[in-house]
Amino acid sequence: MKMMKLFSLLLVGGMSTMVLAGNEDRVGSAGASHLLINPWARGSAIGDAGVACINGLEAQYNNIAGLAFTDKTQIKFNYSNWMGNAGIGLNSAGIAQRVGESNVIAVSVQSMNYGDVPITTVANPEGNIGFFSPRANIFNVGFAKKFSSSIYGGINFKVVTESIFNLRSSGIALDAGIRYVTGEQNQLKFGIALKNVGPVMRFKGDGLSNQVEYVSSEFIATLEQRSASYELPSLLNIGGSYDFIFSEESRLTVAGAFQANSFSKDQIRLGLDYGMVTEKLAFNLRGGFAYENGILSAENRSNALVGPTAGFSVDALVGKSKSALGVEYAARFAGVFGIIHTLGVTVSLK
């Protein structure tokens, strides 16, 4: 119960911060925006509405409490061509492992590669002196626990880094989440997740240094400029889902979530997940929509993602334990940038 009290305090404190922090003057002033990108296909396909229903390793992004629903061991690899035709690659990989009857731990990493960029200087504005590769990485360590048949909670720690060839910024962040499950067949779920809470970050490195010559003494000195600090894009997610169970082989999950952002417009997310199970295969078809003010107008839209999402997954059920080897796909539509494709492989051992 001490751990449950800690989760509750983190969420209540975070919600109080969100109430004070959210205002129009702060929109666009945060950094480390790659923290807002879901690297996983199954959760992305339902429009990130799965605050209450996404399970396993993918819950490290949506709501860490869902990690507690990992059966035994889960391993995932996903790749996204972020912003469609922009040439940005997003790689993600991780493993979740059950420890005991009620505890699950997980480790994952996301790496965003912007490709090779020509190095230019004041003396060489045309380049031709080499290339550098900007990077943005997130390293996650998560823990989730089943407190009762209805209540689940979790905490996720992040190490966040951004770098170019002569500048680097690093920081830490914390996620916390709770899920409540009820109903005769556990078909009704509610979830709350607080994400990206941490101290400010700041860029440091040789890129902020300049050599100057004092005219009077001809003495050469190095001056280092101070970079401005920036905050992390903290947010609060509240959502629910309901499973319409048609038979032992098929069900439809309807999910919805409200996302309160400190540094961007608030969003309403809706998602559908239809699943069918046979003796040897499990198939899921997914769709979703993320709505925010102005998203339907090309003139007033402030988000590259225009709203709709879709995807599917196919899992081969192997052995008596029905362990699964699956492939997954999600599509997110980014207007003039094209379609963001996310492909992945999941191995789930039971």
In this structure, which long-range contacts are made by residues 97-102, counting pairs with CB atoms below 8 Å and at least 24 apart in sequence? 97/70, 97/72, 97/73, 98/70, 98/71, 98/72, 98/73, 101/146, 102/68, 102/145, 102/146, 102/147
pLDDT at 120: 84
Q: What is the pLDDT of residues 261-311, one digit of tens each?
A: 988 899 999 999 999 999 999 999 999 999 999 898 888 888 889 999 999
Distance CA(237)–CA(258), nearest Å, equals 6
> What would the mean pLDDT of 213-223 be, rounded to a whole number?
78
Tokens linked to 120: 């230019």
pLDDT at 23: 55
Distance CA(206)–CA(228), nearest Å, equals 15
Task: Give me the sign of the Cα torsion angle 185, 190, 195, 197.
Answer: negative
Q: What is the pLDDT of residues 68-112, one digit of tens each?
A: 999 999 999 999 999 988 889 999 999 999 998 999 999 999 999
pLDDT at 8: 53
- Report the candidate in 200, 201, 237, 191 with the shortest Cα–Cα distance to residue 38: 237
pLDDT at 199: 95
Of 5-19, 134-148, 162-176, 251-265, least confident by mean pLDDT is 5-19
The residue ranking higher by pLDDT, 3 or 136, is 136
Q: What is the mean pLDDT of the chain?
A: 90
Q: Indicate if the pLDDT at residue 180 is higher than 90.
A: yes
The residue ranking higher by pLDDT, 160 or 221, is 160
pLDDT at 298: 84
pLDDT at 18: 47
The domains of the chain are located at 2-349
pLDDT at 216: 76
pLDDT at 2: 52
Q: What is the DSSP string of 212-268?
A: EE-TTT--EEEEEPPPPPB----EEEEEEEEEEE-SSSEEEEEEEEEEEESSS--EE
pLDDT at 22: 46
How far is residue 109 CA from its own chain's centroid? 11
Tokens linked to 253: 């999950």
Task: Answer whether 152's CB lies under 8 Å from 170's CB.
Answer: no
Q: Indicate if the pLDDT at residue 117 is higher than 80.
A: yes
pTM for the whole structure: 0.88
Please give the CATH architecture assigned to the domain spanning 2-349: Beta Barrel (2.40)
Q: What is the pLDDT of residues 28-49, one digit of tens each?
A: 778 899 999 999 999 999 999 9
Residue 76 CA: distances (Å) to CA of 102, 176, 243: 21, 22, 25
SS (H, E, C) 283-336: EEEEEEEEEECCCCCCCCCCCCCCCEEEEEEEEEEECCCCEEEEEEEEEEECHH
> What would the mean pLDDT of 186-206 be, rounded to a whole number?
94
Q: Is 337 helix (H, G, I), strand (E, B) or coil?
A: helix
Distance CA(285)–CA(270), nearest Å, equals 15
User: What DSSP designation does 63 have?
Assistant: -
Q: Identify the helix (H) or strand (E) that includes residue 193.
A: strand 188-197
